[in-house]
Amino acid sequence: MPTRNASQYSLAAEDPKMWPRWDHVLMIFDRNGKLVESWEQHNKLFVRPHRVVFNPFDPERNVWLVDDGAHSVYKFTHDGKKLLMTLGEFRVPGNDQTHFARPTDIAWLPNGDFFVSDGYTNTRVVKFNKDGKYLLEWGKPGKGPSEFNTVHGIAIDNQRRVYVCDRANSRVQIFDENGKYLDEWDNIRYPYYIYMSKDQHLWVGDGYTNKILQYDLNGKMLFSWGTFGQFPGGIWGPHQFSVDEENNFYIADVHIGRIQKFRPKPGANPAEMVGQRFEVPATR
Reported as a single tens digit per residue, the pLDDT across 102-130 is 999 999 999 999 999 999 999 999 999 99
State the average pLDDT over residues 237-249. 94
The per-residue pLDDT for 8 is: 46
> Is there a domain that residue 7 lies in?
no
> Is there a domain that residue 3 lies in?
no
Rounded distance between C-alpha atoms, residue 63 and residue 207, angstroms:
26
With a cut of 60, say whether residue 2 has pLDDT above it. Answer: no
Predicted model pTM = 0.90
Average per-residue pLDDT for the chain: 91
With a cut of 90, say whether residue 69 has pLDDT above it. Answer: yes
The CATH code of the domain that includes 179 is 2.120.10.30
> Is there a domain that residue 134 lies in?
yes
Q: Where is pLDDT greater, at 96 or 281?
A: 96
Secondary structure letter of residue 278 according to DSSP: P
Torsion (CA) 46, 48, 51, 54 in degrees, nearest 10: 0
The per-residue pLDDT for 7 is: 41
CB 47 within 8 A of CB 102: no
With a cut of 50, say whether residue 44 has pLDDT above it. Answer: yes
Distance set, CA 49 to CA 54, 208, 241 (Å): 15, 22, 15
State the average pLDDT over residues 31-40. 92
The per-residue pLDDT for 3 is: 46
State the average pLDDT over residues 1-5. 45
> Band of the pLDDT at 22, cuts 50, 70, 90?
low
The per-residue pLDDT for 4 is: 46
Rounded distance between C-alpha atoms, residue 172 and residue 110, angstroms:
23
Rounded distance between C-alpha atoms, residue 213 and residue 20, angstroms:
32
- What range does the domain containing 253 cover? 20-272
pLDDT tens column, 131-157: 999 999 999 999 999 999 999 999 999
> Band of the pLDDT at 13, cuts 50, 70, 90?
low
The per-residue pLDDT for 17 is: 61
The per-residue pLDDT for 25 is: 82
> Is there a domain that residue 131 lies in?
yes
> Is there a domain that residue 35 lies in?
yes
With a cut of 70, say whether residue 209 has pLDDT above it. Answer: yes
State the average pLDDT over residues 14-32. 73
> Is there a domain that residue 4 lies in?
no
- The number of domains in the chain is 1
Kindly tell me the number of DSSP H helices and DSSP E strands found in the chain: 0, 23
In terms of DSSP bridges, do strands 191-196 and 83-88 run parallel, antiparallel, or are they unpaired? unpaired
> Is there a domain that residue 104 lies in?
yes
> Is there a domain that residue 278 lies in?
no
> Band of the pLDDT at 197, cuts 50, 70, 90?
very high
The per-residue pLDDT for 284 is: 41
Question: Comparing C-alpha atoms, which of 73, 272, 98 is closest to residue 154?
Answer: 73
